[in-house]
Structure 1
Amino acid sequence: MTEPVNDEELLTAAARGDAAGVRDALQGGAAPEARDSRGRTALLLAAAAGHVEAAEVLVRAGADPDARDHQRDTPFLVTGRTGNTAMLRALLPARPDLTLSDRDGAVALIPACGRGHAGYVREVLAAGIEVDHVSRLGWTGLLEAIVMGDGSRPFREIVGLLIEAGADVNLADGEGVSPLRHALDKGHREIAALLRAAGAR
């Protein structure tokens, strides 16, 4: 008679991207929602490290894309920071809650905008995430792209995608500073032109 699989084996396999090991651990009785000392599930470990195949195995086993760790991260939310479109596609069949926000009150779109993950922004907007969500810091994805970005092509593309998705180009930050004002202050002339063409004041 074989020994029952320890949940730790599942977590270890997921963290190192061993899809076969994940499959074996699940078949051996490991719990899909087992957590490590920081509250991270196997799916969160796989998602954060970009191990798409391991994540796909876990999704097929019913792993929860919305399971929060001790820092309020979820498997889906971390994809906004990594910008991993393949991981996003792997998680979407599990129907993650696109309205969930991180410890800063930001949905996955916002950090993706600030980090220049244009491909990810395109796909998560297509999935139906709210374009004008405002974080607790007073930022939308549009503001994040302008303030955190350097005005280069990925950030210009993101601004264009957000405008196309219906972003409110006059939605100011928590201090009342508009996206256009931020773009001008940062010297992002091409982004300012995009905003003006969309009706920004």
Structure 2
Amino acid sequence: MNNNPKNENLHKTKMDTEKYFTALRNGDFITVKNQLKNNIDINSKDANNETGVIIATDKNDITMVKLLLEHDANINITSDKIDNTPIMIASVKGYGDIVQLLIEKSNPDMTILNGYGGTALIPACEKGHVDVVKLLLEKTNVKVNHINRLGWTALLEAIVLSNGSKSQQEIVRLLLAHGADKNITDKNGITPLEHAKKMGFKELVDILTQ
């Protein structure tokens, strides 16, 4: 027999990593904690090219996210998905508590763009997540007038891809208060105000013309 210690160590590392990611997906806090004590690489990626903190965020598992941040998880490592970082995932899905946690306990890179070439702010505005939008505008350096590959700013998406509801009205107010330029047009040269008029969003028209 030819037992190679190096091969045995590689096998053990692989098994430990698989156990770690299975526990993350199952919300098994104790197993994840034990694996971290055993010096598992907290920033390793699974077969889907996702880190543990990305998985925990996607599951809205704030307890697990806290644990990973306490062990210095890097929240700026991207995955291959459209929403590719924890701050992006939490912003899109409206996980306000996790957005706040990520901002307070780590340093999210707000220049990282999603699969559409947009910041975390843009889809949060589109989805009507007022609390998330407020956090991003007040607590990060996200660029309020960034234009994604579709040619839309956060302000445009808050109007064009919305239903003009009270949450969208509040988001438009927040964007304008934080320097959103209402004169930036879409690729067809249409302004946010023109879109609001065309879609019959009277309240948004009033806000944009104040």
**TM (normalized to structure 1)?**
0.92
- 1:57 corresponds in structure 2 to 67
- 1:123 corresponds in structure 2 to 135
Distance 2:18 2:39 in 1: 11
Deviations 1:4-30 (A, max 9, x none): 771122222222333333211211222
- 2:202 corresponds in structure 1 to 189
- 2:100 corresponds in structure 1 to 89
Identify the match of residue 124 of structure 2 among 89, 112, 120: 112
**What one-letter code is carried by the residue in structure 2 that aligns with 1:121?**
V
Matches within 5 A, 1:20-35: 20-35=30-45
Partner secondary structure for residue 6 of structure 1: helix
Identity of aligned residues (%): 32
Q: Deviation of residue 86 (structure 1)?
A: 0.7
Choose 1 or 2 for highest CA Rg: 2
Matches within 5 A, 1:1-201: 6-71=16-81, 73-92=84-103, 93-128=105-140, 129-197=142-210
**TM (normalized to structure 2)?**
0.88
**What one-letter code is carried by the residue in structure 2 that aligns with 1:120?**
V
Distance 1:158 1:21 in 2: 40
Deviations 1:103-157 (A, max 9, x none): 1101000000000101110011112311111111111111111011100111011
Query: Is 33-42 or 5-14 further displaced after alignment?
Result: 5-14
Q: Which runs of 5+ in 2 are unaligned?
A: 1-11
Aligned residues: CA RMSD = 1.5
Distance 1:139 1:20 in 2: 44
Distance 1:187 1:21 in 2: 53
**What one-letter code is carried by the residue in structure 1 that aligns with 2:206?**
A
Partner secondary structure for residue 15 of structure 1: helix
Residue correspondences, number = 195
